[in-house]
Structure 1
């Protein structure tokens, strides 16, 4: 058996530890809105189901049972509800990106997954849509 010369050993880089995180979610948020590229979709609101999952850096100190020390899902939900009432959006992809932008306004949010489902777009389908995941640079 031969022994390896210590000069030939390559040391691996030390891993940088990732921040400690937790998930905050909003499941099955139902909104009605103008969405779609067809003329009938520009004239009548339709139901859309939204699911949002946030990967959030943990608070530096104790939470102390204080909502100011956590990501407030109600604040995000209200901002999304305001967005869908403000304008017609053609694509579910555009809506998902706009929701991601709302979420990333909070610096503690590391990544966002948004699922947008149009519930009445196809007659023989329960829903159609898109799911995206974005990570902060």
Structure 2
């Protein structure tokens, strides 16, 4: 959670009293895509449903007034980046796919942290879903 602004702050001056830059959370939850992912022969032969979530912590330089999409991180660009990676071909490991998604998200200099969650809902009988989650920070 971000700290409150100092009492004399305005929307144009968005540095909290602590001196830390404020952050904004941008997220994509439960994006369902068909993906070629897995190490088993059946997984290599047939695409399967993959549920993808990404939670990004973004430096918040938005002035609160411009109402211009270019002033913020557009979540549709996050979705299109994820889609592009997933649709680029077969990947053996969910971990590899998650790393590629995290790297793409962190390519935007405003993103300081990303949590990527990948779930396979149809792969293990009796399980609603199995998967992985990674957390990556800007170096």
TM-score, L = length of structure 2: 0.83
Paired residues, what number? 122
Segments of 5+ residues of structure 1 without an aligned counterpart are 1-15
Deviations 1:24-64 (A, max 9, x none): 00011000010000011001000000110000001164451
- Partners of 1:70 and 1:41 lie apart in 2 by 38
- Partners of 2:118 and 2:73 lie apart in 1 by 21
- 2:129 counterpart of 1:109: no
Could you say what secondary structure the match of 1:28 adopts? Answer: strand
- Partners of 2:60 and 2:114 lie apart in 1 by 15
Tell me the equivalent position of 1:128.
130
Tell me the equivalent position of 1:5.
none
CA distance 1:121–1:63, shift in 2 (3 Å): farther
Aligned-residue RMSD, C-alpha:
1.3
- Partners of 1:17 and 1:82 lie apart in 2 by 37
Deviates more, 1:82-91 or 1:30-39: 82-91
TM-score, L = length of structure 1: 0.84
Segments of 5+ residues of structure 2 without an aligned counterpart are 1-17
Tell me the equivalent position of 1:86.
88
Contact 2:62 2:72 in 1 (8 A): no
Could you say what secondary structure the match of 1:19 adopts? Answer: coil
CA distance 1:101–1:64, shift in 2 (3 Å): same
Could you say what secondary structure the match of 1:71 adopts? Answer: coil
